[in-house]
Every structure is written in C-alpha cells, then in structure tokens.
Amino acid sequence: MAAPESGDGNNGAARMVTLISSDNTRFEVEAAAASLSQTLQLTILDGGGGGGDGIPLPNVDSATLSKVLEYCIKHAPAAANGGAPNATAVDRAELERFDNEFVNIDQSVLYSLIMAAHNLEIEGLQSLVAKKVADMIKGKSPMEIRRTLGFPDPTPEEQAEMNAHMLEYGWAYE
Amino acid sequence: MDDAIAEILLRLPPDEPSCLVRASLVCKSWCRLLSDPAFLRRYRVFHRAPPLLGFLRNLYDGCPLFRFVPTAAASPFATPALDGRDRWAVECRHGRALLNIFALRGLIVWDPVTGDQHPVPAPVHPHYHYTAAVLCGVDGVVFAGSFVDEENEEVITWASEYTSETGAFSEPSTIQLSCYIETRPSVLSGDALYFSLDQGKRILKYDLVGRSLSVIDAPQVYKQPEGIVVTSEDGRLGLVGVKDDSMYLWSWQVGSDGVSGWVQNKVIKLKTLLPILDVLDSFNVIGFAESTNTILMSTDVGVFTIVLKSGQVRKVGEQGSYYAVAPYTSFYTSGIDILLMFNLYTLCMFALL
C-alpha cells in the first residue's frame, strides 16, 4: 500500500498544515494527522494547507474540529505504520482505551462528530462513532430511538406513511 | 446523511435481529435503507466476512490436479491435504469447494473444514463446455453449459439446478447465443449468479428466483482476456478489467432513467499498487473472493492479492501460468440469514398491525 509521503522520511520537523473551521478558527496540525482524512489527503499531498494558506472546512465548527484532530493526532502514528502491524499489544490497548474514552461524550458532540467524520472521510473515526451510536440505540423501541437521536415525534401523516410503507413492504415479500 | 446512518445501522448486532426491525420502524428512510438488498448484503458481509485462506489452482502434471495455495499466514490446513489428483477445482463459495472428479465423471461438493463430501452427477443436459456454482445454504449446485445444436446450427447455453435431496435436475433454462460459457468461477450478487461468456466479453445472468437466463455485455474496452465479473463494494454486479497500466472497476447500476448500465467506479494505477514491477505487460486478473472483495492478479513476478477497499497488496504465489483460480474463504458459523430473519420479523409485525 502506498504510504502518504508525509508518513515517512520526516526525520526533522514534521510538516504542518493549517485547517480553518467554519467559525474561522485556525488549527495547526501535523500533515500526517490531517491526512487521516481521505478528503484532506489529496490536498495535502498536492502541497496545500501549508504556509499562510489554510484549508477551509466550512462544514465543521471549531469545537468539533478540535475533537476530530484530537482523534487524528492520537491515531496518526499507528496509521503511518500501515495499520500498525508491528504495534505492541500495549500500544493497541492504549488506543482502545483512548477510543472508549473519546466517545464518552455529550450526545450533541457525538452527532457533530458523525457528520464531520463522514464529510472528512476519516474511516476509523466514522467507524468508532457509528459503533457508539449503534450501541446507544441497541435494544430500544422505535420511539425511544427517535428520542435518543433527537428526532421529533412522528406527525400523524408520517405515521400513516410508515404504516403504508410497512404494508407495501410486507406485501412485497409475500 | 444516509451514508452516515448506514454506517450506524451496519453496526447493530446480528445476534439480535429485532434491533434491525425496530430500527426499520423509526422512520421511512431507515425502513427503506434497511430493506435495501444492497445494505443487507453489506450487513452480512460486515458481520460475517470469512477471511481469504488461499486459492485452488488447477494444473496438469501427467494428469489434471489442483493445488491449494495459502494466502493467509496462519492457514488451518496442512497444504498437501488439500491437493488432489485427477480432479480440478470448479469454484468455492462460503467455505465449500466444488471439484470436478474426472474418474467419477461427476463433481463433489467438499467442505475442507469438516471433510464432508457430497457427490453431484455431471449434468445430463448436452454440453460442450460447462461450469457450475455451489451456493451457501442450498444443498445443490447450479450448472451452466453450452452446446452446439447441429440440426439448427446454433449455440445453446443453458442452466439447470441439481438438488441432492431429490437427486434431480431442474428443467433447463436456455438461451441462444453465438458464444460459449467460460470455465471460470461464477459470482453471486443479489438473487443471481453471473457467469463469464466469450472470454469475458459478455456475462450470463442466471436469476435464481425466476430461473431465467439473460445476457449483459461487458464494457468493450479491454484486451483479451477481458475483465472478470466481481461484486462491487455495495454487493452489486461489478467488473474488473486491466488496460495499459491501470485496473478499472465497474459496477452495474440502474440509472435515473431506469435503464441499467455500467458505471466506472475506480481507476487504480498498477504502478502505485505494485511498485516493484518494472514492466507492465503481463497482468491478468485470475480470481475474485466475494466475501472479502479481493482480486487475485497474476504478473511476471508472481500472484498478488489486492483488497479493493483498502488497496492492500500482498504477494501470495509464484510466477506461473494461471487461467482462473478458485479463491477459498473459510466459513465459521452457519450464522443466521439476516435477510430471511428480517423478512420474517417484518411479516410478523405486519400481521400484528
């Protein structure tokens, strides 16, 4: 697998890039960490985000971006190792502990993270938050799931539509 | 947003099917997503993707024989135990291998994990070429073959299902084509099996529900041998072809106008994947493992596996002559058929409304 250029050969100071959140806060971060985002990786490989320029992220606010970068910085060394085949059990356990604590957060932050991880295409983070939300809705009734995720209660029209849909679906398999 | 929701629903536990049913009642868009066959296939793969352990390679050394070439570091099998003389591998699916036993003039379905073997007679329908497919959870084999109808001077391609329970072949479905079926492993996508025709220029679709045959033309851009049929990441019919220095991934999709066609999903520069290669003149896609979405490619310096999702590449075999190989993925548990469970639950819910 081709490793991003920023992942090796950086014996001296690591290359830094600047990311700009939707509320205009600038974050300076190692290119290797930001490259965990598939969306950013190409721009960074093309030399973007350095110097006075920054990469604007109009869909991610500063609170969410700071959280996203916390994840990226922690996971960047393992990712640069190509999924860390040489990682020790201790390293892996440490990452797992970090992950567990990382998603132990307020629901609103969690939902912003889902969208940010998705927009930035950070596979590990997408998977981590998706798993957390799946755990939260596991075992709940449809109405409880709606409330957990902050969906409004269904309108009578929506309820009727759902029933009709169920009917259609049920028939389709008879 | 739908993609993000799909990622969440994908992670609902498979050992509690009621979770999926409850989720399907949350709102219309979740219901649509959860009843989408592509999602359910992804779900099954996500929760039950047996690793690629190796592939069966057919050779001729005084007699036809096959060898098991391990691709996993820790293969559960002693390699020679899997080799066999006077037999060729037809294909493998979900932990079972289908072998052509020349001395018996028939086939066996063989589970290398348990050692179980079930004989299957050779097709009764006339054939010049034939191939066969073994299905998960079905105690039978689907045969597909071609023969020349001398009287009418035409090539007839047919498919017929053999069920070991009754020991009978189904009435063959036939289609008239000017080409022959290839003896390559098939691909299962949705409710259909896809076989290669005419060196990969065309694809034969066998609908398992309606037992009907139809033909899809492959994108006509590759030198021979043409691309091979695969399943794309979302479980649709796909095709992988090599041209010049790149590998092209296609999927068969329904357009906004309702007409199906090929959509090119990805182009991968082979140099980036296989930087050790200097000369880019001899690439052949020789196999595809459905459950792990892995391509097997033979080159001048050996055989490589390429995981389509991650681009992970590994050398797994020596250079040699390969036509088509049968990738073998292990089968851990019989598992539950999520789609079936889901349908049953939905019908129950429907009955309770």
Q: Is residue A166 part of a domain?
A: no
pLDDT of res. A42: 84
Q: How far apart are CA B126 and CA B157, in angstroms?
A: 10
pLDDT for res A164? 66
Q: Tens-digit pLDDT profile for chain A (174 aa)?
A: 444 444 444 445 778 899 999 999 999 999 999 999 998 988 888 877 776 678 999 999 999 999 999 999 999 888 776 554 556 777 888 888 999 999 999 888 888 999 999 999 999 999 999 999 999 988 888 888 888 888 888 788 877 776 665 555 443 332
* Beta-carbon separation of A170 and B275 below 8 A: no
- Closest-CA residue of B relative to A116 is B4
Rounded to whole angstroms, the Cα distance separating A173 from A165 reads 13
Name the residue in chain A with its Cα closest to that of B351: A170
**What would the pLDDT profile of B14-62 be if each residue is shown by its tens digit?**
555 567 777 877 887 888 888 777 887 787 778 766 668 788 999 888 8
The string of pLDDT tens digits covering residues B271-299 is 888 777 665 567 788 999 987 889 999 88
- Would you state the structure tokens that stand for residue A32, as one six-digit string? 């290797």
| B87-93 and B313-317 beta bridge pairing | unpaired
Instruction: Select from B8, B32, B347 the Cβ nearest to the Cβ of A133.
Output: B8
Does A169 reach chain B within 8 Å, measured CB to CB? yes
Give domain status of residue A3, yes or no. Answer: no
In a domain, A160, yes or no: no
pLDDT at B338 over 70: no
What pTM was computed for the model?
0.57
How confident is the model at residue A57, as a pLDDT? 92
Q: How far is B350 from chain A (nearest CA, A)?
A: 6
Based on the structure, what is the number of domains in chain A?
1
Q: How many contiguous H segments (helices) and E segments (strands) does chain A have?
A: 8, 3
Provide the pairing of β-strand B228-231 with A16-20.
unpaired
Q: Which residue has the higher pLDDT, B234 or A122?
A: A122
CATH of the domain at A79: 3.30.710.10
In a domain, A117, yes or no: yes
Residue A161 lies in a domain: no
State the Cα–Cα distance between residues A172 and A66, nearest whole angstrom: 47
pLDDT at B172: 92
Query: Tokens 């990786």 — which residue?
Result: A41
For residues B225-251, average pLDDT: 84
How would residue B346 be classed by pLDDT, with cut points 50, 70 and 90?
Answer: very low
Question: Interface pTM (ipTM) of the complex?
Answer: 0.78
- Give the closest-approach CA distance of B34 to chain A in angstroms: 11
Q: Which of A133, A169, A174 sits opposite B31 (nearest CB)?
A: A169
Superfamily of domain B49-334: Kelch-type beta propeller (2.120.10.80)
Q: Contact B12/A137, CB-based, under 8 Å?
A: yes
Give residue limits of the domains in chain B: 1-48+335-353, 49-334
User: Can you read off the two tokens belonging to residue B211?
Assistant: 């037992």
State the residue range of the domain holding A27. 9-138
What is the pLDDT of chain B when averaged over all its residues? 79
